Amino acid sequence: MGPMTDPFALVDDRCFDVHRARGDHPERPERLDAARDGLRRAVGDAPVLALEAAEVAPADLAAIHASAYLADLEDALADGWGHLDADTFFAPGSREAAFRAAGGAARLARALMAGEARRGFALLRPPGHHAEADRAMGFCLLNNVAVAAQAALDAGAARVAIVDWDVHHGNGTQHVFEDREDVLFVSLHQWPLYPGTGAAREIGRGAGAGRTLNLALPAGSSDEGYADAFRRVVLPSLRAHAPDLILVSAGFDAHQRDPLASMELSSAAYGAMASALLGVADELGHGRVGFVLEGGYDLRALEESVAATVAAALGRSSDLPEDAAPAASRAAVDATLAAARVAWPEGFE
């Protein structure tokens, strides 16, 4: 199936809009409308495979989250309105949104593994990458991308990679998989910043040593800094791991317009990063890349960046910038390479 006839898989559901805070909160339903606008603009009249976001299967959830947490979460969500931590709200309808978000992410992973499509996007809320096995955290109730990764493995993938380009470290995802050899987790994030984890020295443990890679980038990192991180760490580690599916924890809060962080990415940078990941997926012979929405709190930035990402996924490729990265971000990439050398003595090639 060539790129012209290959459908673009899409998970979306109006139930995600019901999840909202009682007062002002950056993680709001309007975010999804902005992302939808960007996606629609990029897709145009290309074929779309609409995937249902059914409630996540209990076994898929139990593979990632502790049963005691799931029981506590069900009890809490039955109350209607409230908070699970200082930042993490819930509302009537949040249970359906969260459980169908995780189910939609799993559905996307299974569709890509089954050859129903090669590329797809799960437009969902609440986000997931801060959710730990045993607690909600940082606007996240269930770890959608982790559920998706495990679903892909259960569907026959030997290895999966998760690239997390949200500006915040994906602590929950890292902790779920850090002792596992079959899931590569590569996170690019502003450092220091919430949640405080994701130092370069965190490289996984046991059988998973070297399969966690943290690019702890300085505030103000630009398209060039991210390009350097992609060329020297993200892309070679993906080639070395050779995943059967690349999942992207696709937050858009490293954008220069984002109000919650201080990075300087352009909208176009997301297209270039997506193109680079698609290139590796094509080199690996399968072309499978699934994007799962995480953060991103400026509506215009979200719309433009999702459009750039989806355009790349549909084959309108763009290149990472060639200009040299500033010394501070090069040093951050050097730190990741130095830490990873323990597990990858010959480098990634």
Q: Contact residues for Zn ion (CB under 5 A)?
A: 166, 168, 251, 253, 295
Residue closer to Zn ion (CB basis): 110 or 189: 189
Residue 185's region, left for phi above 0, alpha for psi from -120 to 50, else beta, is beta
Which of 224/253 has CB closer to Zn ion?
253
Smaller CB distance to Zn ion: residue 169 or 232?
Answer: 169
Please say whether the beta carbons of 34 and 303 come within 8 A. Answer: yes
Any catalytic annotation for residue 286?
A: no
∠ CA 302-303-306, rounded to 5°? 75
Exactly one of 19, 65, 129, 130 is catalytic; name it: 130
Residues 165, 145: contact at Cβ < 8 Å? no
Query: How many C-beta neighbours within 10 Å does residue 5 have?
Result: 8
Beta carbon of residue 304, minimum distance to Zn ion (angstroms, whole number): 17
**DSSP letter at 207?**
G
State the minimum distance, in angstroms, from the CB of residue 136 to Zn ion.
Answer: 15
User: DSSP readout, 231-289?
Assistant: IIIIHHHHHHH--SEEEEEE--TTBTT-SS----B-HHHHHHHHHHHHHHHHHTTS--E
Question: CA-CA distance, 220 to 264, in Å (whole number)?
Answer: 5
CA distance 137 to 129: 9
Between residues 164 and 223, which has the closer beta carbon with respect to Zn ion? 164
Angle between helices 267-283 and 299-313 (to 10 degrees): 30
Minimum CB distance to Zn ion, residue 349 (Å): 31
**Choice between 287 and 295, CB closer to Zn ion:** 295
Q: Which is nearer to Zn ion, 168 or 211 (CB)?
A: 168
Distance in Å, CB of 166 to Zn ion, minimum = 4
Minimum distance of Zn ion from residue 169's CB (angstroms): 9
CB 281 within 8 A of CB 246: yes
With helix as H, strand as E and coil as C, how does 7-43 read? Answer: CEEEECCHHHHHCCCCCCCCCCCHHHHHHHHHHHHHH
* CB-nearer residue toward Zn ion: 253 or 264: 253
Minimal distance in Å, beta carbon 302 to Zn ion?
Answer: 12
Q: Rounded to whole angstroms, how far apart are CA atoms 182 and 197?
A: 22
The encoded tokens of residue 218 equal 């300085």
Crossing angle of helices 30-43 and 299-313, rounded to 10°: 30
- Please list the active-site residues: 130
